[in-house]
Amino acid sequence: MTIIQYLRTVFIALGIAVALIGAYLFSEISSVKTQFNDVVERNVRLLSTVSDLRYYTVTYRRFALDYGLTDDKQEHRDILVKIKRNNESVRGALTDMKALTVRDSNSAEVAQIETRLDGYREMQNDYIRLIDNGRLADARRKMLGPMLAPFDQIVDNLAALQADLESQANTIKVQQSEKIEQLIFVGAAVIVALIILMVVVALLLQNRIRGPLSMLVTQMQRVESGDLTQRLDLSYFNRDELGQAANTFDQMQNSITTLIGSLVKGTQRLQTVSDELSTK
């Protein structure tokens, strides 16, 4: 392998390694970012929905109390309209919660909240019927007794769901932070490994070039000083650019030696002829 091929191969390999590691880190970081954004958006929407649902649940009891505190039929009709709107708001909040917790660990809690809200609305409707039928004492007993425990349970369920969401958010934050730290560690390790690899490649290339080049320079200096007796040992050279240069220089030295030998022989023949002519 020539030096150019060697360098090209090394840098292509390094480029491929950097590209693969970069693609891996980019993919993982993008995945963490997407997951983190999705979880944050989901939890924010869920917490907002839970907060709304807690308000609507408290509003149920307030409307029921208002209904029992008046005998005015028009006010009763106005309160029933408000209860109807509140029912629609609760259904909308529950729909959002179920959509956000589908195939999720919180789906069972949402289903339980929905069941208890349905049961509480039935008790509230029965409470309103008692008042409409003039059974105010029975209605008050229902409000202060049987209707109180389910209401507290719904509020407790919503508070527990809210606490679970906060705990899940903290857990996800810790997990994603650990993953980001792991990616940073991997990136740093890869950078260090690439630096070490580049240093090793540079040292190998230096050793491959320095020794043969030093021998070639030394031989050139000998030839320059007129010493043609010592030949270059080509076994120390690789089959690369330096090897080709050494082989060419050795051929040149051989040609010079042959030329000088021919010149010496020609000079000797001329001297011999000159001597013969002088004798004659």
Check: CB of residue 64 under 8 Å from CB of residue 124.
Answer: yes
- Residue 82 in tokens: 């408000």
- Let me know if residue 256 belongs to a domain: yes
238 and 129 within one domain: no
> Domain check: are 32 and 114 in the same one?
yes
End-of-domain residue from the set 162, 179, 196 = 179
Of 147, 142, 140, give the one whose Cα is nearest residue 117: 147
Task: Give the dihedral sign, CA 190/192/198/203.
Answer: negative
In this structure, the answer to whether residues 143 and 241 fall within a common structural domain is: no
Based on the fold, state whether residues 35 and 144 are members of the same structural domain.
yes
Question: 168 with 53, same domain?
Answer: yes
Same domain, 71 and 174: yes
| Residues 122, 247 within the same domain | no
Nearest to 97, CA basis, from 107, 87, 88: 107
pLDDT for res 1 = 62
Output the domain CATH number for residue 170.
1.20.120.1730
Within the chain, residue ranges assigned H as helices are 3-68, 73-100, 107-132, 136-144, 148-224, 241-279
Tell me the residue type at 146. P
Residue 154 lies in a domain: yes
Query: Does 221 fall in a domain?
Result: no
pLDDT at 82: 92
Quote the number of domains for the chain: 2
For residue 212, is it within any domain? Answer: no
Among 116, 145, 179, residue at a domain's last position: 179
- Consecutive 10-residue runs of the chain (280 residues): their mean pLDDT? 72 82 81 76 82 86 86 89 91 86 79 88 90 87 82 84 80 79 82 83 76 82 81 78 82 84 83 84
DSSP string, 172-233: HHHHHHHHHHHHHHHHHHHHHHHHHHHHHHHHHHHHHHHHHHHHHHHHHHHHHTT--SSPP-
Contacts of 69 (CB under 8 A, 6+ apart): none
Q: Could you list the residue range(s) of the whole structural domain that residue 52 is in?
A: 22-179
CB 236, CB 215: distance < 8 Å = yes
Radius of gyration of the chain measured on its C-alpha atoms: 47
pLDDT at residue number 177: 78
Do 43 and 100 lie in one domain? The reply is yes
Task: Give the residue from 155, 179, 203 where a domain finishes.
Answer: 179
